[in-house]
């Protein structure tokens, strides 16, 4: 029972650092070795609260450890689809940027609460991230 709590805490901590930092941390030697593994691929969609696809937003995978490179975000297509090639093994949570910034909310559907564990060469399909525009407006006001 403690393992999911630790993972959630680690994911939240990584996310908090990601939003507080101006950019990714410098790569460690371990990160450089990890980058030699076959990439894991995450395929998914971004939808709004009503389940409609959201085009043109950026999806950033935030690694849950200091020894994992940060990768460029993916931009969703007209159907809200995205594809990310990521270093593995690692765990990731997600941020969705509409405009210049992402907003974290307390909503259980927030993309920052979606945690994916990946192994080298994995392909994870069917990840759905919800862009919470109403919550975003509340946070920004």
- Beta bridge partners of residue 101, listed in sequence order: 98
Q: Is the peptide bond before 89 cis (omega within 30 degrees of 0)?
A: yes
Query: Domains of the chain (ranges plus CATH)?
Result: 2-140 (2.60.40.10)
Compute the average pLDDT of residues 56-61: 96
pLDDT tens sequence across 59-101: 999 999 888 988 999 999 999 999 999 999 999 999 999 988 8
pLDDT of residue 12 exceeding 80, the answer is: no
Q: How confident is the model at residue 2 (pLDDT cuts 50, 70, 90)?
A: very low
Quote the pLDDT of residue 136. 66
CA distance 71 to 99: 19
Compute the average pLDDT of residues 45-49: 96
pLDDT of residue 15 exceeding 80, the answer is: no
The strands making up 123-130's β-sheet, listed across from edge to edge, are: 81-86, 40-47, 123-130
Nearest to 69 by CA among 42, 32, 38: 32
Residue predicted with more confidence, 57 or 21:
57
CA distance 88 to 117: 9
Q: Report how far Cα 91 is from the mean position of its chain's Cα atoms.
A: 10
Q: Give me 132's structure tokens.
A: 């919470």
């Amino acid at each position: 029972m403690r393992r999911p709590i630790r993972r959630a805490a680690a994911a939240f901590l990584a996310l908090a650092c990601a939003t507080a930092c101006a950019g990714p941390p410098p790569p460690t030697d371990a990160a450089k070795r990890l980058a030699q593994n076959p990439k894991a691929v995450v395929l998914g969609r971004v939808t709004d609260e009503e389940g409609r696809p959201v085009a043109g937003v950026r999806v950033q995978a935030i690694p849950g450890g200091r020894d994992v490179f940060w990768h460029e975000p993916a931009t969703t297509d007209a159907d809200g689809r995205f594809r990310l090639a990521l270093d593995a093994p690692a765990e990731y949570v997600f941020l969705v940027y509409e405009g210049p910034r992402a907003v974290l909310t307390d909503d259980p559907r927030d993309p920052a609460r979606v945690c994916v564990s990946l192994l080298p060469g994995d392909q994870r399909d069917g990840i759905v991230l919800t862009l919470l525009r109403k919550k975003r407006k509340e946070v920004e006001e």
